Amino acid sequence: MIIPIYKPAGMTSHDVTAKLKRAFPVKTKIGHTGTLDPMCTGVLVVLTENDTKLSDILPSNKAYRATMKIGYSTDTQDVTGEIIEKSDLRPSYEEILAVAKSFIGTYDQTPPMYSAVKKNGVPLYKLARKGETVEIEAKKVAIYSIENAEMLADDEFSFDVTCSGGTYIRTLCEDMGKELGVPCCMKALERTVANGFSIKETLPLDKAIKLASEMKLEQYAIPYDHVFKNLPSVIIPDNGLNYYMNGGRLSTNRCEADNIDSETYRAYDRTGKFLGLAGIINGEFFGKWKIQ
């Protein structure tokens, strides 16, 4: 199953899956597609049983509503941490917006110490809690847009941001502060889109737990092909269906495809049954991921 959950504040992503796992009357394998910090709320995509393997192929882009606190920075890059620098400077809305917009594109972002990124197999946050610091390699992330920016107060700037998977918004807030010359950190964060799902498609955690306990959660599962609705489709012919499903490749001339310019397709049989994802190489379609 694919179930987008609305994660409340005050719990980890692991807490969410653990609660759901305990709710099921039968043993059920459960995972999620991307960690949200305890203070953060919003879309958390939960996967069950064999569908946990989908985490590697779901769309990775994310969107958030963020609030940046202006005037101090912390060791966690958010308001839950210990203050390490303060300033009375207050940039104007125009100055902050200009700096925020300057981050649109790709840039090298250094993950925070208080994160799930691993160093030699150990999550950084565990090292940070011990007071240890290590050298962290920067990684390239992408900021696609920053919109709907507003000043909530003279020291609070709120904005919508869409970005690549693996982007840390609290690090973005701190990096924006460095460009402004004023220490900043993240005050609040709500993930509004994850893996192609928006908030309006999520289930409240309490409701999901109740449905799981009644073995009714499957009624709210998202259809597989909905996840990949932005991909072109291909119809696998009846006379090549078994061959394809068993790992064979079929010429593009034998299949009905929207186009042959994509790397990945939604594959269907002639009855409209979703078969999984197909790839194309050397003029032939092959199964990249198939529903078992």
User: Which residues are part of the catalytic machinery?
Assistant: 37
Distance of alpha carbon 41 from its chain centroid, rounded? 12
Distance CA(5)–CA(205), nearest Å, equals: 6
Nearest to 291, CA basis, from 281, 279, 278? 278
Beta bridge partners of 150: 158
Sign of the Cα torsion 12, 18, 24, 25 reads: negative
Query: E strands of 81-175, at which residues?
Result: 83-86, 105-109, 118-119, 122-123, 139-153, 156-163
**Exposure on the CB side of residue 13, measured as CA atoms within 13 A:** 19
How many C-alpha atoms does 150 have within 13 Å on its Cβ side? 3
Tell me which DSSP letter residue 223 carries.
P
Report which DSSP code applies to 95. H
105-109 and 139-153 beta bridge pairing? antiparallel
- Bridge-based pairing of strands 233-235 and 264-268 is parallel
CA distance 249 to 19: 42
